[in-house]
Amino acid sequence: MFVQLRKMVVQEGYSNQVVERFSKPGILEEQEGFIDTTVLVKKVRRGEEEVVIQIRWESEQNWKQWEKSDAHIAGHKAKIGQPKPEYIISSEGGLYEVMAEKTARI
């Protein structure tokens, strides 16, 4: 399994906009190897909130196919020249290969 994480620090009260953006249906769910998206929100300190987006893929290859897809590239091209929303304080991301998992024993 392969995981893409993105962490955004936003102004207090704006995390719901990021949650909405990453929660609504889109073309991502139709991609081969896509497993799911999880969106987490944490109050960091007064005036800020942290949003973590986790996107899970069956493999790194599936993620690479998405990154190189016409749909993904077109989405980024459509945003060229547009300023990022003012409520975003910072954003960072990372890519991870899952090395171990635990599940509930029932």
What local confidence, expressed as pLDDT, does residue 93 receive? 97
Q: Which residues pair with 9 in a beta bridge?
A: 50, 90
- b/e string for 83-102 if b means 16 or more Cβ within 10 A? eeeebbeeeeeeeeeeeeee
Q: Are 28 and 34 in contact (CB under 8 A)?
A: yes
pLDDT above 90 coverage of the chain, percent: 77
User: Model's pTM, two decimal places?
Assistant: 0.87
What local confidence, expressed as pLDDT, does residue 47 receive? 86
Mark out the alpha helices in 46-89 (DSSP H runs). 60-68, 70-77
What local confidence, expressed as pLDDT, does residue 45 receive? 74
What are the tens digits of pLDDT across the range 42-98? 977 788 999 999 999 999 999 999 999 998 888 888 878 888 899 999 999 999 999
Spatial neighbors of 82 by CB under 8 A, at least 6 apart, are none
Structural domains for the chain: 2-97 (3.30.70.100)
